[in-house]
Amino acid sequence: MNEAHGRLVPASYDAVVIGAGLAGLTAALRLAEEGQRVAVLAKGVGATHLAPATIDVLGYDDGPVDSPARTLPEFADANPQHPYRRLSIDLIRASLDWFKACLSDHGYRGGLDQNLLVPTAVGVAKPTALVPETMAAADLRQGGRFIFVGFRGLKDFFPAYLADNLARTPLPGGAAVTTRVVELSPPLGVARDVSATGFARRFERADFRESVLAELGRHLMPGEIVGFPAVLGLEGARKVWQELETRLGHSVFEVATLPPSVPGIRLYETMTGALRRRGARLVVGTTVAGAEGSGNRLEGVVAHTAGRPLTYRANSFVLATGGFASGGLQLDSSGEVREPVFDLPVAGLPGPEEPRFERGYFDEHAISRAGVAVDASSRPIDGEGTPVYENLHAVGATLSGAVPWREASGNGLSLASGYAAASAILEAS
Amino acid sequence: MSACTRSAAEHGARILPYHRVVGLELHDNRVVGARVNDERNGEELEIRADIVVNAAGAWAGQIASLGGCVVTVRPGKGIMIAMNHRLVNTVVNRCKPPSDGDIIVPIRTVSVIGTTDIQVADPDELEVTPAEIEEMFDEGEKLVPGFRKARALRVWAGARPLYTLDDVADPRAVSRTHTVLDHAKRDGVEGFITIAGGKTTTFRLMAEHALDTVCEKLRVDRPCTTHEQPLPDSEDERFYWLGARVQAQEPVPGSEEIICECELITRRHLTEAIARRRPTGLDDVRRRVRLGMGPCQGGFCIYRATGILHAFEHLDHQAANASLVDFLQERWKGVQPILYGDQLRQARLDDWIFQGLLAVGHLPE
């Protein structure tokens, strides 16, 4: 570090990524893989810890989507402002392939041509493009006899409610699903209230697994597929899952539960671990609140950390701070929407007389598609379509035009847009 | 209110919530009973009584007309906004003639700012307008600087049962005192009285005055004792204390499942509330234990509470799903008009949980 303008200035980077969700980590890791010196600055961990680690590319259009590859062209035509309009099928496919290779330890299954159908914790058969191997046996497309396992002391998973709905869910091709439930009472000591991560840590212990195996083994019937809440270990998840399959002699899968998402934490740990091994700098717990530049070129961002401002200089910058849920977009009490880091223009806003929200919770709300609009090189643009900075790119939930929680497109958009921004940066340099 | 109904039930009263009065039985200019409709299942019921007391508040005019009497109630709409946390620890009220948005009241875990006063035709149609909300924020800023930056949790509207014999342009000029109307003396209809006007602060006095009239008509000569009787759970004369739920958890943290972290509702609280008011939906449980009323507005507890309700009441999937979806819609109604800042951030997280993670928009039929 050297001293300049009275501020501590760290060494400069090729790229600075703001935000450590899937979009930011994807852009950062791809750039680091190509030899760029990368810094990731994040206020906290990203939405990985909130969402299941499935890669939903496009789950719902008018109804459930069977094949994202087939549906995406018409979907993009019907939604001209949607980020998928600028992300080609080939690019999305490349991003999925890259992701699968990069998380080879997670054994992701699936692809762009055919969505899998996996049960949510309320028993909806949800379409998704990629799932980690610990969730793959949940695929409902062929039907099957399922048993769901609950644990006394885990309040974020209600297998009976799940099973009740799932048994009544019509499946494509008339696939037949039967469900039943077992609740286990593994030893938890004095604790009566154990979080998903608490269970995941216990599953890393052999003695805990033994007691689960002993109790569960008595209940299983031949051929049943066994669904657990997604708490089967953290860094040792693959081993835990394999041991359960081998010892039970049944296919075993995980169902995503309420946040914190254990599979999401695994995803985050693997990607940040890979980043560190590539020499990237990861600073979590810092707020980026200012930019330095000349003309339309950004030269540095000012981050507040440990009580003082620090300028991070770089050739290119990636904004991956998320949408309203992550604070990447903000709405104040008088109705003004802001992007707080660069004060970028916000697109997709309702008109002055138009209500921001509808009365029905499940209606589409006018403000839902608000965000930062970008050009073909993922650069934020103003109302005239001119890039605000020639070397700033925006990715993930910050982008305008999508309603990812309705479309089941969140992680797919983050992955593809993060991948595309990295490609644009690599091309330009 | 639940203490009042419990007390009444302990004294032999039968409480019929969710029953709409659809008619009054009249015989020879005497009200002898009421026909009511169970809103939950549509079943009709006839109730006979020596005296019918109309204590329907803003709806008192509608009930009186079923008995052929004219009582002019002018429902006065007032909105209130619950702000996250206690911005104040005592009531803060501006020293000026009563007007809109001049009072903040700390209650339980929140502070409530109020209110407006707009005369409406129908107490069932209480629209919260953006202008009213803006006014509350502006006035709140005067009471507590920085008010607009605080988190607004929920907005709702109520109807005051303003009763007056005169035409008054400004509803605030109408007295909040109450009147007992004996329809025998007033309209020649026996067995029927109306308690009109008043406000929650004086509700027990209103009841006393109404009952004095009932006793007189039934020729019962006994003094009222309600002013000497504490309501259930208040017998030890201790006030509500904000720290009570935390204190109960502190001796052995983690020894009970906390279903709602915002309001520290345990699984036991929840199942007791379900058992006490069954068969009902989650909205009644909410009123009892503040389920889903904290900062996350049900983001984490609604799924858990639905799972518990499903198991506890042996609900089928349709009833459980309806309860979940109704609860989400009911929360949304009070949240969406004041959604901004950190509360929008929270609401979006809830969207990701319910629509993204769980896909509740695609529940089976």
Q: Rg of chain A's alpha carbons, rounded to an integer?
A: 23
- The reply to whether residue A161 touches residue B306, judged by beta carbons under 8 angstroms, is yes
| pLDDT tops 70 at residue B277 | no
Name the residue among A51, A190, A361 with its Cβ closest to that of B356: A51
- Whole-angstrom Cα distance, residue A352 to residue A345? 16
The letter for the amino acid at A355 is P
Q: What is the ipTM of this complex?
A: 0.96
- Whole-angstrom Cα distance, residue B229 to residue B269? 26
Q: With contact defined as beta carbons under 8 Å apart, do B308 and B261 qualify?
A: no
Contacts A–B by Cβ distance under 8 A: 156
Residue closest to B303 by CA, chosen among B265, B353, B362: B353
Residue-wise pLDDT tens digits, A381-415: 999 999 999 999 999 999 999 999 999 999 999 99
pLDDT band, residue A369 (cuts 50/70/90): very high
Buried b (16+ CB within 10 A) or exposed e, B102-137: bbbbbeebbbbbbbbbbbbeebeebebeeebbebbb
pLDDT band, residue B154 (cuts 50/70/90): very high
Nearest CA-CA distance, residue B56 and chain A, Å = 28
Residue of A nearest to B333 (CA): A359
- The reply to whether residue B339 touches residue A258, judged by beta carbons under 8 angstroms, is no
Share of residues in chain B with pLDDT > 70 (%): 96
Nearest CA-CA distance, residue B125 and chain A, Å = 15
Angle between helices B317-335 and B282-289 (to 10 degrees): 50
Instruction: Give the pLDDT confidence score for residue A308 in this predicted structure.
Output: 85
Give B-chain residues touching A408 at CB under 8 angstroms: 356, 359
Q: Which domains does chain B have, with CATH numbers?
A: 2-70+180-228 (3.50.50.60), 74-163 (3.30.9.10), 244-362 (no CATH)
Q: Is A31 left (phi over 0), alpha (psi -120 to 50) or beta?
A: alpha
Residue B117: strand, helix, or coil:
coil
Residue closest to B73 by CA, chosen among B197, B255, B216, B243: B197
Nearest CA-CA distance, residue A229 and chain B, Å = 13
Give the domain ranges of chain A: 2-51+266-428, 68-257
Q: How far is CA A358 from CA A30, A422, B152, B333, in A?
A: 40, 37, 18, 9
- The reply to whether residue B360 touches residue A124, judged by beta carbons under 8 angstroms, is yes
Give A-chain residues touching B258 at CB under 8 angstroms: 155, 193
- The reply to whether residue B356 touches residue A335, judged by beta carbons under 8 angstroms, is no
Residue of A nearest to B329 (CA): A361
Residue-wise pLDDT tens digits, A155-164: 999 999 999 9
- The reply to whether residue B317 touches residue A164, judged by beta carbons under 8 angstroms, is yes
Name the residue among A51, A122, A361 with its Cβ closest to that of B329: A361
Nearest CA-CA distance, residue A102 and chain B, Å = 24
Q: With contact defined as beta carbons under 8 Å apart, do A261 and A50 qualify?
A: yes
CA A60 to chain centre: 17
Q: What is the DSSP string of B263-305?
A: TTEEHHHHHHHHHHH-S--HHHHHHHH-TT-STTTTTTHHHHH
pLDDT band, residue A239 (cuts 50/70/90): very high
Residue closest to A198 by CA, chosen among A156, A158, A149, A249: A156
What fold is seen in the domain A2-51+266-428?
Answer: FAD/NAD(P)-binding domain (3.50.50)
- Whole-angstrom Cα distance, residue A143 to residue A224? 11
- Helix runs in B11-149, H state only: 60-66, 130-143
Q: With contact defined as beta carbons under 8 Å apart, do A299 and A313 qualify?
A: yes
- The reply to whether residue A193 touches residue B255, judged by beta carbons under 8 angstroms, is yes
Residue of B nearest to A261 (CA): B357
Name the residue among B310, B352, B365 with its Cβ closest to that of A405: B352
| pLDDT tops 70 at residue A196 | yes
Name the residue among A192, A332, A333 with its Cβ closest to that of B255: A192
Strands B73-84 and B152-163, how do they pair? antiparallel
Residue closest to A165 by CA, chosen among B358, B221, B272: B358
Task: State the residue for tokens 């970028």.
Answer: A344
- Whole-angstrom Cα distance, residue A289 to residue A298? 14
Give A-chain residues touching B256 at CB under 8 angstroms: 192-193
| pLDDT tops 90 at residue B78 | yes
- The reply to whether residue A164 touches residue B336, judged by beta carbons under 8 angstroms, is no
| Helix, strand, coil share (%) of chain A residues, nearest 5 | 35, 25, 40
| pLDDT tops 90 at residue B170 | no
